[in-house]
Chains A and B, each alone.
Chain A
Amino acid sequence: MSTLTARFAPLRARSNAYFAQHRSLGVLVAVITIGVALPLISRIPPFGDLQSMNAWVNAFTIAGIYALLAVGLNVVIGFAGLLDLGYAAFFALGGYTYAIVASPFFDIHLPFWPMLIVGALIGAMFGIFLGAPTLRLRGDYLAIVTLGFGEIVPIVLLNADPFTGGTNGLGGVDKPVIPGILEFTLINPWPFYVLMMVMIALVMTVVFRLQDSRIGRAWDAVREDELAAESSGVNTVISKLQAFAVGAAIAGFVGVFNAAKLTIVAPDQFKFVVSISAVAAVVLGGMGNPVGVAVGAFVIYLVQSIFLKQLNTLVDNFNIPVLQEIDFLEFQYVLYGIVLVLMMLKRPQGIFPAKRRIRIFKDTVGGAK
């Protein structure tokens, strides 16, 4: 890898410089490249053997959901430095918002597209609702309040049967439709995949723009030294609230997509495990680096849901008799745990740590212009 990096260093420097000036364009190019490359990769033997291309495309779409969750949570944890252990709650609220108005349960069928925005707004609303009274809490007290919120939401969804379908959840949720052009189906994973890529491009652009904005700089300040930030005139409460709202909005936004993709929302889908996996993705990917956390989440999902689940198939391919006797499914979580520990010990900053220095340098260049 190192020789390769060296060889392409000048090229990378030039492209970095270019895309640093045109970040939105960079996001677009990157998402299109990745969007085209992923399905191709799924045809390569070790991947192709596991499942068909359609199944891979579907898996990538769902991995995209987790990637976006991580990007959203990264705004809270990585940018503003607030630990949120109940992020799944906002994800749930977005999903239920859509499911309630687009399923046979109340027999209301509002269109998908505007609901994406409504879901995001509902998420933001609850983010502010939870954040306003609690953001004066420091450090881990905030974490536990969010954890509590994350526990409360599924219990309320479970017990508020008349509105949420209780334990059964809301099924038969409408899939997106582009009137006259395209009806999304569960059989053809491509429309959902393309939509996911568009959403990733959108969220990434917003997040990058926020990061570079006054708000983003305020987050940096609050994260690095709250006291100093406050004395320099940053309204830390507002700043934190903004991070909370943006993070929650992204979760709500993705929640709507998730409901339409799975065609069902149920309390079980939004348990603590989801929140904690998102935190793991953020830390593992590299706190503060939106691309890093997205990749982290993507990889964690694929490892957990594809590779570990299909370890047996994978090992069978090697034709080693001793290994074929073992049921690897039994070890999947031990392996997952070991992977988490080792990755963290090897790279405590995450796999793709945020490059704050480069950013600061770039900002001064931009300022001089």
Chain B
Amino acid sequence: MKVFNKKGFAALAAAALLAAACGGSTTEGKTLTIGISLPLSGSSLASAGPARDGALLAIKETTIEGYTLATKILDHAVDGVHNPAQAATDVTTLVGDETVVAVVGPFNSSSAKAQIPVSSEAGLAQCSPSNTNPDLTKGDAGAALRGGRPVNYVRVAATDDLQGPAVAVYAKSRGKSNVFIVDSTDTYGKGIADSFAAEFTAGGGTVLGREGAPAGTTDFTAIVTAAKALSPDAFFYGGVTADGAGLFRKAIEQAGLGDVEFYGGDGIQDGSGEGSYIAIAGAAAAKSFSSVAAIENIPDKAGFAAKYEAEYGEAPGAYSASGYACAQVILEAIKTAVAAGEVTRESVRAALTDTATVYSTVLGDVSFDENGDTSQKIISLYEVVDGNWTFVEQIDYANK
């Protein structure tokens, strides 16, 4: 308690008055800050960290004449898990910082639900590398979320209303007709499982059973035993690896059903590094299939991987290129705003969401529609071969 002696206290009080007196006049307008709002601790770090690094790399490579580019990174993981309330707080923090002109993030759809009302009210441009829930942008739900205001949020990932069906179509093309579905009960997991189920049954398939296993579930044995009695010819898991995808697959194998094929969305396609689906499921990962709501064959795959590795000493993660692309489109929008004269939040937002602009990104040419969704509606499908996700095919929904 003896931190402040009397003199220190007086100095502090004087400083407070002084600071209050000259507050507000110190902003020079030369610094442009790009906020990065992602879950960056605990189990979220494994997937969101690479997205942050991708974005930082793009920002580092860019200079804008007459301005200093800065970044402000806020971690909204609480107890190691992304937390929508903290995400909302963080975006308010960014809104409160006058130098912030755009934000990369968030990572999870539930966080986006908390952030978009705030950022749209502030007219602060946002680009998510990985949100896939359709309700964030489309239709009445999207309009309600941004309170009927102009679009300020764009994303470079395709949505789950394409991803889930793409996996369903693929599973059926492999002759599957009886599936057992488990989801992680959160925004992403339940959403993608719903869209998978709808498409799967639409074409004559049967959903034998549907079960929910919240993140943190470690015991899947009872679910697997219950499923086993129904003799499914495929399993679908809606959720991310950290929710328990690998554990589920392992339990399936342990129950002697290792030959039954396993399908999932981009939540389980997280490479083969530490903590990935493949690493957790081990040998059981064979006969697993997944999708990614993005293009697999990015134009300069080797080049991007090389410079990413040179910077960070490790291979890009699943969302590194998406993070990089998000920063790219934001930087491009800032440049447009600079060229037009004044860099304000509004000018950056307007430039970013201009549906006519075609951005040349690491993912390829991308533009955003009237809802802020990417024109690149490519779903890539993968299969585990020899302990690695191997690209199978990609379905382009752009013209469908």
Contact = CB atoms under 8 A, between A and B. Distances in A.
B343 to A, nearest CB: 18
Contacts of B98: 52
Contacts of A167: 110, 185-187, 190
Interface in A18-71: 39-41, 43-45, 48, 51-59, 62
20 contacts: A1-B4, A39-B20, A40-B19, A40-B20, A41-B16, A48-B19, A48-B23, A55-B92, A55-B97, A56-B96, A58-B92, A167-B186, A168-B110, A168-B113, A168-B187, A172-B145, A186-B92, A187-B95, A269-B83, A330-B41
Contact of B93 (A58, A185, A269): A58
B84 A104 contact: no
A186 B20 contact: no
B96 A54 contact: yes
Contact of B86 (A158, A305, A310): A305
A232 interface: no
A309 B36 CA distance: 13
Contact of A264 (B17, B23, B40, B117): B117
B135 interface: yes
Chain B interface secondary structure, helix, strand, loop or mixed?
helix
Interface size class of B (residues with CB under 8 A): 35 or more
B12 A262 contact: no
Contacts of A263: 88, 114, 117-118
B6 interface: yes
Give 8 closest A-B pairs by Cβ, nearest first. Answer: A55-B96, A43-B19, A54-B96, A104-B144, A55-B93, A263-B117, A269-B85, A186-B118
Interface of B: 1-2, 4-6, 9, 12, 15-17, 19-20, 23, 40-41, 73-75, 78-80, 83-86, 88-90, 92-93, 95-98, 110, 113-114, 117-118, 121-122, 135, 144-145, 147, 185-187, 190, 214
A85 B88 CA distance: 25
Contact of A43 (B2, B20, B75, B86): B20
Contacts of B74: 309-310
A23 B206 CA distance: 68
A90 B74 CA distance: 29
B19 A44 contact: yes
Nearest to B27: A52
A1 B96 contact: no
Contacts of A268: 83-85, 110, 186
Given A4-B6, A329-B41, 9 more contacts: A1-B2, A53-B23, A54-B96, A62-B89, A172-B145, A264-B113, A268-B110, A269-B84, A329-B40
A50 to B, nearest CB: 9
Interface in A154-168: 158, 166-168
Nearest to A170: B113
Nearest to A330: B41
Interface string A122-158: 0000000000000000000000000000000000001
A51 B23 contact: no
Contacts of B41: 329-330, 332-333
B86 A264 contact: no
A1 B185 CA distance: 52
Pick from A1, A44, A332 the residue with the most CB of B within 10 Å.
Answer: A44
A172 B187 contact: no
Q: Give the most central of B6, B20, B122: most A CB within 10 Å.
A: B20
Contacts of A53: 23, 96
A273 interface: yes
A92 B53 CA distance: 36
A325 to B, nearest CB: 14
Given A171-B113, A309-B74, A333-B79, A186 B96 contact: no
Contacts of B114: 171, 262-264, 266
Interface string A181-206: 00001110100000000000000000
A350 B124 CA distance: 42
Among the interface residues A62, A104, A186, A266, which one has the most CB atoms of the partner chain B within 10 A? A186
Contacts of A1: 1-2, 4-5
Nearest to B3: A1
Contacts of A39: 20
A185 B144 CA distance: 16
A58 B110 contact: no
Contacts of B12: 44
B118 A45 contact: no
Contacts of A158: 185, 214
Nearest to B82: A268
Given A262-B88, A309-B75, A171 B144 contact: yes
Contacts of B97: 51-52, 55
